[in-house]
Amino acid sequence: MADRAETMVSGGFLWRSASRAGGFTLIELLIVVLILAILGAIVLPIYQNHRAEAEVAALMSNLRVLREVIEPEQSLTGEYPNPLDASKFVGGLPDHPQNSISLPTFQYANAANVTHPAYKVLKSGVTGAYWYNTANGIVRARVTDQGTSADTLAMYNKINQCNETALGNYSGGGGGGS
């Protein structure tokens, strides 16, 4: 056979040079990196979308759990609990999955004719991730800025299963809003 120091074809197979000790060429490495980048570009948006959907589902579930504790308490005592007793919840009061700025869990209100917080967006200056009105038992979840006032309001309405028309403290993403 010919010298193994050169690449040769034998029986239809391409043999690598014996002098190249099992490494990869720059082109091979670049192709692998390119393939990984393409896969990452495909998978990352899917992951982010699933994460956002999971947060919405968690918030809706948390609101349902809160209502399942508040309503029977009112049926038994004639009054809505004030404040909420963490011992009535398995694992304590539910956390707000979007509360990355470490707001207190609840802001309490006591006004029978108020059904929504004045400020619906989670940001510095609001006094709780969830809003609970002890006069009428209504509990709402504040939401993070979704980029525009319309998207943020749509998220608030979806999570709280309502049809509000204003956010109160919105000053982010797309500007505007009220």
Q: Give, for all 178 residues of the chain, the pLDDT tens digit.
A: 444 445 555 555 555 555 556 788 999 999 999 999 999 888 888 877 788 889 999 999 999 999 999 999 899 999 999 888 888 888 888 889 988 888 889 999 999 899 999 889 988 878 889 999 999 999 999 998 888 989 999 999 999 999 998 887 666 654 333 3
Report d(CA 138, CA 117) in Å as an integer.
10
- The answer to whether the beta carbons of residues 7 and 15 sit under 8 Å apart is yes
DSSP category for residue 121? B
